[in-house]
Chains A and B, each alone.
Chain A
Amino acid sequence: MYQYDKYDQAMVDARVEDFRDQVRRRIAGDMNDDQFKPLRLKNGLYLQLHAYMLRVAIPYGTLDSRQLRKLAEIARKYDRGYGHFTTRQNLQYHWIKLEEAPDILAELATVEMHAIQTSGESIRNISADQYAGAAADEICDPRPWAELLRQATSFHPEFSYLPRKFKICVISSPADRAALRWHDCALRIVRNEAGEEGFEVYAGGGMGRTPFIAYKIRDFCPAAQIFSYIQAILRVWNLHARRDNIHKQRMKILVHDLGEEEFRRQVEEAFEHFLTLGTDFPQAEYDRIAAYFAPPPFETGLPEEIDRTDPDFALWVDQQVIAHKAPGYAIANISLKPIGGIGGDVTAEQMEVVADLAKRYSFDDVRVTHAQNLVLPHVRKIDLYAVWEALREAKLADANLDLVTDVIACPGLDYCTLANARSIPVAQKIQQRFADMDRQRDLGELKIKISGCINACGHHHAGHIGILGVDRKGTENYQLLLGGSGAEDTTQAKITGPGFDEDGVVDAVERAVECYRTLRDPGERFLDTYRRVGFDAFKEAIYG
């Protein structure tokens, strides 16, 4: 994985001092909170219901054991002994003191980590396929490009006070495991007919109040020119976006207002201009970065067989283990969705267990997924049993990847000032309703995503079943949505009808699920059946 050189290190060290000075000026009264807010947000510091929340960047969702241990140490020292992995592959601490935030950043900087641009109207932490470098279906590892773009978009002088947030995602597989087209700028690495590497570019995606799926703005951008293309997109948006209504300032709104063709025309014009400025990083810099992502020294001649004698282990293998591109290896997914737990939450002790396992069994490599789970990307098949036993000991061996209990949920009204309703208790009740493992497996892939407000951090627009918490006359109310997808078959979920109370929405989910079970053809997922039979049959089942 990437390692900082003296320049990268100086940059994060300077940022720590920069932020320390901003906090000092705020505490001294040299700045009011209106002035301080955008500055702290650019460093991932939110004021929530009970305390400050600090969002730590995990670029392209990749960590090593040293970093994960540091995250555990910070959780113990500055928080309440746990952290929360988010739908942007980041980690949040929810119980932070303002005056300690600079010290936390200083601790992060010792392990080449930071909180730069994890919030605010800036270019956010870049997300990527969590199986990068391990997936059998990838063209190449997308992370060198993600790292190059991390540097290119950090402290960008022109694009640090944008109309709104701007999210970039990079993948290089036909399968989409990263909710690609729900991003403002979505990049898929492809090869053209000449075999040259480049990017299929999508623009204008986003969830929130006005969801849009990104449209393909360019079939092929030569890889070496991608930074110019992204800057062109940013410049058109920065100059022409509305600035009078925060709900209408995301790029998706400008794309919609101008129309896809006109937006493309303006971007192409700006792109031609950027190409003349010499801002693209040279091949030598890409090569330097890519060297850090060279494949680990995979052993050869390893056995492919997995001893399935232990039925609990066999179940975990069936659900959590994915094919790896190297013979004898496997990708092991770690569920952070125990029944009745808080999805994405991990204790300091659990972080240390995962760090140990990564170090010992996975070339010191851990990944975070947008579905709020973890991954050990490179495990020898002969080691899977030992990994599973250690995970079981740490209560991390749930076997529910992509099943009905693998619920994505935002922190909701339990933590967040923006929320209208709680998300966590709804996720827990759904998990309890469907806790039976045979039932879960019988239902197969079923992605439930819950947001506690219209901002959609819980990705409800992309849920096979989505749930949106709203405030209705002072009581929490939940809308049910169906048919969304954040995969390569991206679709936007559709609102079914009137909302429900907390228990009511769990019942409604069960009615939708039973409708699927009744109507499904062999081999069909929930989403497939929904698409085949249509919305009305499900609506009828839900509302009667």
Chain B
Amino acid sequence: MADALRFRNDDPIEEPAVSLDAFLEQDGASAVRVEAGDDPSRLIPHLARVKLVEIGIPRFRDGRCFTSARILREAGYEGELRAEGDILVDLVFFMRRCGFDSFAPQAGLNRADVDAALSRYANVYQNAADGSVPIWKLRHG
């Protein structure tokens, strides 16, 4: 976790994330790992006890993680949402917009590149899970 990037102020969750199936069977678990291909909406009835959702990214081209993250945020999940796996710096901006707030990339990311990527686009065309104000709203007040 030396390379982890975190955009939260609370303490990191140390509990290991268990698989979605295991989580649903273990009432005491509070950290869950959602693999690409898992249906994230199965977690929705249990969000009250979730402190960490780790979403696995087997290949950076696999964009299911973006939808999984948004589904959880749109259901009201406010805990840590971590991306783990094959993460390129070019994904981080969209991931932040979809609600990810921590990153555990397999290969380390250059922090300067991440900061540049996150600040490159001043505005956005759509609202998503990050609270950014879309351009249409800026245009019309």
Contact: B128 with A282, CB < 8 Å? no
Contact: B66 with A285, CB < 8 Å? no
Contact: B66 with A10, CB < 8 Å? no
Tell me, in angstroms, the Cα distance from A30 to B88 when the chains sit together.
11
Chain B residues, Cβ within 8 Å of A30? 110
Contact of B121 among A14, A159, A161 (CB under 8 A): A14
Contact: A157 with B94, CB < 8 Å? yes
19 further A-B contacts with Cβ under 8 Å, apart from A7-B139, A160-B94, A235-B67, are A10-B122, A11-B121, A17-B120, A25-B113, A39-B90, A121-B63, A151-B135, A152-B125, A152-B126, A157-B94, A157-B124, A158-B70, A159-B66, A161-B60, A163-B63, A239-B39, A243-B62, A273-B74, A281-B136
Q: Is A154 among interface residues, defined by CB-CB distance under 8 A?
A: yes
Contact: B125 with A285, CB < 8 Å? no
Contact: A285 with B136, CB < 8 Å? yes
Q: Is A304 among interface residues, defined by CB-CB distance under 8 A?
A: no
Closest 5 pairs (CB-CB, A-B) = A161-B63, A157-B97, A157-B94, A285-B136, A158-B66
Residue of A nearest to B58 (CB): A243
Residue of A nearest to B36 (CB): A243
Q: Is A238 among interface residues, defined by CB-CB distance under 8 A?
A: yes
0/1 per residue, B120-141, Cβ < 8 Å to A? 1111111110100001101110
Q: Is A156 among interface residues, defined by CB-CB distance under 8 A?
A: yes
Q: Is A22 among interface residues, defined by CB-CB distance under 8 A?
A: yes
Tell me, in angstroms, the Cα distance from A157 to B120 when the chains sit together.
14
Contact: B140 with A284, CB < 8 Å? yes
Chain A residues, Cβ within 8 Å of B49? none
Tell me, in angstroms, the Cα distance from A527 to B18 when the chains sit together.
60
Closest chain-A Cβ to B21's Cβ sits at a distance in Å of 18
Q: List 17 A-B contacts (CB under 8 A).
A: A7-B138, A11-B123, A11-B125, A18-B121, A151-B125, A155-B121, A155-B125, A156-B125, A157-B98, A158-B70, A158-B98, A160-B63, A163-B63, A243-B36, A243-B37, A243-B64, A285-B139
Tell me, in angstroms, the Cα distance from A370 to B99 when the chains sit together.
38
Tell me, in angstroms, the Cα distance from A490 to B93 when the chains sit together.
41
Contact: A158 with B62, CB < 8 Å? no
Chain B residues, Cβ within 8 Å of A14? 120-122
Q: Is A288 among interface residues, defined by CB-CB distance under 8 A?
A: yes
Contact: B63 with A21, CB < 8 Å? no
Tell me, in angstroms, the Cα distance from A397 to B136 when the chains sit together.
43
Contact: B88 with A35, CB < 8 Å? yes
0/1 per residue, A159-184, Cβ < 8 Å to B? 11111000000000000000000000
**Residues of chain B at the chain A interface (Cβ within 8 Å):** 36-37, 39, 60-64, 66-68, 70, 74, 88, 90-91, 93-95, 97-98, 110, 113, 116-117, 120-128, 130, 135-136, 138-140
Tell me, in angstroms, the Cα distance from A277 to B122 when the chains sit together.
22
Tell me, in angstroms, the Cα distance from A500 to B118 when the chains sit together.
54
Q: Which of A19-44 contact B (CB under 8 A)?
A: 21-22, 25, 30-31, 35, 38-39
Contact: A35 with B66, CB < 8 Å? no
Q: Which of A331-390 contact B (CB under 8 A)?
A: none
Contact: A278 with B139, CB < 8 Å? no
Contact: B61 with A161, CB < 8 Å? yes
Tell me, in angstroms, the Cα distance from A157 to B94 when the chains sit together.
5
Residue of B63, B70, B110, B128 most packed against chain A (CB within 10 A): B63
Residue of A nearest to B40 (CB): A239
0/1 per residue, A281-318, Cβ < 8 Å to B? 11011001000000000000000000000000000000
Q: Is A417 among interface residues, defined by CB-CB distance under 8 A?
A: no
Chain A residues, Cβ within 8 Å of B70? 158
State whether A238 and B60 are in contact (beta carbons under 8 Å apart), knowing that A273-B74, A279-B126 are contacts in the complex.
no
Residue of A nearest to B91 (CB): A161
Q: Which of A388-425 contact B (CB under 8 A)?
A: none
Closest chain-B Cβ to A157's Cβ sits at a distance in Å of 4
Tell me, in angstroms, the Cα distance from A508 to B35 when the chains sit together.
53
Contact: A157 with B128, CB < 8 Å? yes
Contact of A288 among B61, B123, B139 (CB under 8 A): B139
Q: Is A5 among interface residues, defined by CB-CB distance under 8 A?
A: yes
Q: Which of A250-293 contact B (CB under 8 A)?
A: 273, 277-279, 281-282, 284-285, 288
Residue of A nearest to B124 (CB): A155
Residue of B nearest to A22 (CB): B90
Chain A residues, Cβ within 8 Å of B121? 11, 14, 18, 155
Chain A residues, Cβ within 8 Å of B63? 121, 158-163, 238
Closest chain-B Cβ to A276's Cβ sits at a distance in Å of 8
Tell me, in angstroms, the Cα distance from A387 to B124 when the chains sit together.
42
Tell me, in angstroms, the Cα distance from A235 to B71 when the chains sit together.
10
Contact of B64 among A7, A154, A155, A239 (CB under 8 A): A239
Tell me, in angstroms, the Cα distance from A161 to B63 when the chains sit together.
5
Q: Which of A217-248 contact B (CB under 8 A)?
A: 235, 238-239, 243
Tell me, in angstroms, the Cα distance from A22 to B36 when the chains sit together.
26
Contact: A35 with B60, CB < 8 Å? yes
Tell me, in angstroms, the Cα distance from A7 to B61 when the chains sit together.
28
Residue of B nearest to A122 (CB): B63
Contact: B127 with A161, CB < 8 Å? no
Contact of A282 among B90, B120, B135, B140 (CB under 8 A): B140
Contact: A38 with B125, CB < 8 Å? no
